[in-house]
Every structure is written in structure tokens, then in C-alpha cells.
Amino acid sequence: MCTRVIRSSPGEAVIVGRNMDYHCDTGTNLWVLPRGLDRVDGVGGSLHWTAKYGSLIAGAYDLISVDGVNEAGLAGHILWLTESDYGTYDTSKPALSMAIWLQYFLDNFATVAEAAAWVEKTKVQVVPLADPGTGTVPAVHLALDDATGDSAIIEYVDGEPTVWHDRSYTVMTNSPTYDKQLELLKQFEGFGGTDTLPGTTLASDRFARARYYSARLPKSDGPVAAVAGMLSVIRNAAQPFRIPDPGKPEVSQTIWQTVADLTNKRYVYSSTTNPNTIWVDLDEVDFGGSARKLDLASDTGLEGDLVGNVTDKFVACAPMQFLTLTRK
């Protein structure tokens, strides 16, 4: 479930797109979370911090940060990875709940390099929490990207974080783990192999298509064209609405898509159940003010009122409260 693609070419804006694929609605709303907010790790551990940077995020159930970008141009994206193994939570070590994992990076870092170095140094644990909508415990990995075009993939296998940090890591989907995805890619035409570019919704097939088409985008003549180009790539990797396959009662479909222009600081959001595309211009957001929310969960269907630039449509509210670990 899910696809993330970053494109960075000399003389052009750094653009990152992602599909959010899931088998049910996640009640997604957009939030402006200002700098200066005090936070805790969500597991009753040792990490406490004050947000250095303000951020714009897409939240699930108004409890989990799953996608977003901060005012410095660092963006992050949570995607599913079945093979994830976070190990047994050791209360003596620094840890973050899965709900606030992405938010920690948006709060504290301006670049991928800073974030990757912190993970390598601390070996921070991630503590999974049950999805409040389904009751299942997600298994996820994290992609980070920034306005310089840098990229990192963070995966947990055998209880330890692996950081894939390189500008060439432009695509992330789901299973298998990232090292195996890179090996599978080599079998296809254009990447050293002879197999025809695949067309299914398998994560490895979406990985190949996203890499192939993002590398062949024409030079854009401006920010609008750059966003349109990225949308064309992630739509090619989207999962259509469909009935479940036999033996698989839960089938994922693309429920929303985002494109972040990390150079011009614009965040574009599009729901697959609403024909209207909206965007937020981060340079127009007051990240030193109050927390604010844009209610997307009720703006559904053809009658949706939100369209175009919605930067001034957010409503002041209490900051989002992240899901925390419940101790027995």
C-alpha cells in the first residue's frame, strides 16, 4: 500500500508525490502545527522536545501524522511495510510511538542529512500502536526528503533501524524491504534486465513503474507543470477501486494523493472521492501562531466546497493530540 516518488533535476523544483493506499477511510484532515509546541514521545519514555519548526501535515483519525512538510522544506511519508520488526520495547532506550514518529523529524530537522544522522546515532526505537480505525497494528517504514533533493528510507528489521540515505533512492513502495526492491528492479528493461515493465498493483511493480516514468518526465516550465508531471507518475502507480479478491477480504485502494513542491513550498492534496484539488502555500502560513485544522473529512463528494488555494481556510483549534501507548 502506498507509493512515494521524489524528482530532483538541475534547475528545476524538487517535487515529491505520494499515494495513500488503504482499505478504509482514515478520516484525513490537514493540520498546521506551529513551532514552539511541547511534545512527548507517546510511550512514557525519555524523549521530550519543543518543536523547532512548524509543519503542515495530513493526519489519520486526527491522531497520527502520516504525511507532511515543515517550514524548512523537510518532508516525510509513512508507508506500509509488512516485514517491519521493531523489536521489544526497551524502556531504557529512546523511543517514539508510531503515531508521532514522523512528527519528530518534522519538528526537529531541516534536512534529510540531519535526520538520518540522528537515527544512526540514537538507534531510536519505534513502538507500534493499534490503528484506531481497524484495531490492527500497522507495520510501516518512513521516507524523508528535503529541498536539496536528498532522500532517505528508514526501515526496521530485526528490531534495528536501517537508514538508506542517498539522493538516488527516489522511489519507495511497500514489500519487500528496500534492498530487495532494488534487486528486483534489475530484472526490467531500462534497469539492466529484459523483462517488460510490469503493470500490476504489486508493490514491486509499482516501484518499477514509478522509477521508470519519474526518470522520463520532461523538463517542466514552471511550478504548475512540475506538480502536474508528478501527479501523472503517481497516478500511474495508484491502486484503483475494486472488489476484494477471493481469500483477501481487505483490499487497498488509493484514497488520496499529495504532491509537495519543496522548492516553492506548496503542498497539494487530492482525494480520490472528490474531484477538487486543493493546495497550501507554506510561505503564507503563520507557523508562529496557533494550531489550525482544515476539515477534509466532511468535504466529500461532488458537493465539496474546498477547491484551489485553501491556505486561508484553516480554522484555529487546539493542537492535534497524538495517539499514545496505553500501558496495562
What span, in angstroms and rounded, lies between the C-alpha atoms of 68 and 175? 22
pLDDT band, very low/low/confident/very high, at 301 (cuts 50, 70, 90): low
pLDDT by residue (tens digit) across 41-53? 999 988 999 999 9
pLDDT by residue (tens digit) across 85-124? 999 999 999 999 999 999 999 999 999 999 999 999 999 9
Mean pLDDT of the 52-56 span: 98
Please, what are the domains in the chain? 3-316 (3.60.60.10)
> What's the distance, CA 216 to chain centroid?
23
Q: Which of these, 160, 131, 181, lies nearest to 4 by C-alpha position? A: 181
Angle (CA) 326 101 55, round 5°: 120
Catalytic positions: 2
pLDDT band, very low/low/confident/very high, at 134 (cuts 50, 70, 90): confident
pLDDT by residue (tens digit) across 69-78? 999 999 999 9
Q: Which of these, 158, 190, 192, 136, lies nearest to 85 by C-alpha position? A: 158
13 and 262 in contact (C-beta within 8 Å)?
yes
What span, in angstroms and rounded, lies between the C-alpha atoms of 297 and 274? 11
Mean model confidence pLDDT for the chain: 93
Q: Does 328 have pLDDT greater than 50?
A: no
Mean pLDDT of the 295-305 span: 76
| Global confidence as pTM | 0.94
- 156 grid coordinates: 526496521
Residue 175's alpha-carbon distances to 4, 83, 141, 260, in angstroms, are 13, 7, 10, 24
